[in-house]
Structure 1
Amino acid sequence: METQNIFILEPSTSEEANALKAFATALKIKFEIKEKSYNSEFVAKIQESQKQIQEGKVTRVKKENLKEFLGI
C-alpha cells in the first residue's frame, strides 16, 4: 500500500538526525536529506566581511574604550 503523505522533520542536533536516519533505515522507509541553505545575500555579506578582515580593513577597539565606541 502506497501513501501520499510526506513528513518533514527538522532535527536540532546531530544525535537527533542520526536517530531519525537509523529509524527510517530500520523500517526501510525511503528518505532524502536536504541541507538548509543560508540566504544568498547573507552569505555574500559574510564573504565580504571575511575579505575585509584578510585585507586588514578592521577597526580594533580596546576594552576600556568600548562604551565610548558604542556611544553608551
Structure 2
Amino acid sequence: MEAILLHPQNKEQLEAIKAIAKALKMKFETTTVEGSTYNPDFVKKIQNGRADVKNGKGTKIGIDDLWK
C-alpha cells in the first residue's frame, strides 16, 4: 500500500484533511514540521535513497563482506 504525505499550508487545510481521513475511517498521524532537528537537505537525501532502493537502484552488501 502507498502512503501520501500532504503539506497543508494553513490550519483550515489541515483540519479539512483530518476530517476527510476520519470520514473515510483512515488511520493517520500528524507531526510538527516547525522545530524539526533534521536538516531538510539531509532528509531529502534519505528520502531519495529510500526511493532508489525501492526502485531497485541499490547494492546489497552482506555483513561478512564489510570487514574484508
* Bigger radius of gyration: 1
> What TM-score does the superposition give when structure 1 sets the normalisation length?
0.47
Calculate the TM-score normalised by the size of structure 2.
0.49
